[in-house]
């Protein structure tokens, strides 16, 4: 089977990690109670997580140029998601609140991990393209 026609371990990892990010935001690592100022940040992050799940599922299509575009879009969404809690959407004032002590680090860790995975996949697709042209 051609290298560009198969699903790699990175493709599966992107799907699994984006699903875990979304599940975590909805359950154990979500924002404070409804009605707090951080609830909007949690809703924005859930929307970004759903978009990332959709893109990582579309990323399973075996076309290396298409995958490179999806990787670029995933990196852009993750960078946006890193700036949502505390910068774009306000969080609660106290540092011991759930949104600051649980949701913000959870989001930062998963966004960083997804940026690294998508960048590695982009670079591997780039090298596979150059190797096939020779």
107 falls within a domain: yes
pLDDT interval class at 126 (50, 70, 90): confident
17 falls within a domain: no
Candidates 76, 82, 103, 74; CA nearest to 10 is 74
Chain position carrying tokens 């609660």: 92
What is the pTM assigned to this prediction?
0.86
- What percent of the chain is modeled with pLDDT above 70? 90
pLDDT of residue 116: 95
pLDDT of residue 62: 82
User: What is the span of the domain harbouring residue 116?
Assistant: 31-133
Chain position carrying tokens 């599922």: 57
16 falls within a domain: no
2 falls within a domain: no
39: Cβ contacts below 8 Å, ≥ 6 apart: 31, 32, 33
| pLDDT tens sequence across 57-83 | 998 888 888 888 999 999 999 999 999
pLDDT interval class at 30 (50, 70, 90): confident
**What is the number of structural domains in the chain?**
1
40 falls within a domain: yes
């Amino acid at each position: 089977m051609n290298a560009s026609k198969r699903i790699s371990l990175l493709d599966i990892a992107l799907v699994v990690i984006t699903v875990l990010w979304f599940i975590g935001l909805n359950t154990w690592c979500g924002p404070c109670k409804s009605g707090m100022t951080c609830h909007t940040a949690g809703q924005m992050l859930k929307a970004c997580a759903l978009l990332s799940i959709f893109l990582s599922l579309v990323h399973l299509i075996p076309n290396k140029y298409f995958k490179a575009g999806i990787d670029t879009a995933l990196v852009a969404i993750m960078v946006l998601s890193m700036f949502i809690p505390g910068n774009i959407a306000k969080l609660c004032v106290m540092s011991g609140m759930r949104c600051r002590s649980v949701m913000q680090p959870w989001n930062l860790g998963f966004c960083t991990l997804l940026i690294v995975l998508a960048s590695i996949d982009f670079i591997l697709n780039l090298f596979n393209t150059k190797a096939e042209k020779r």
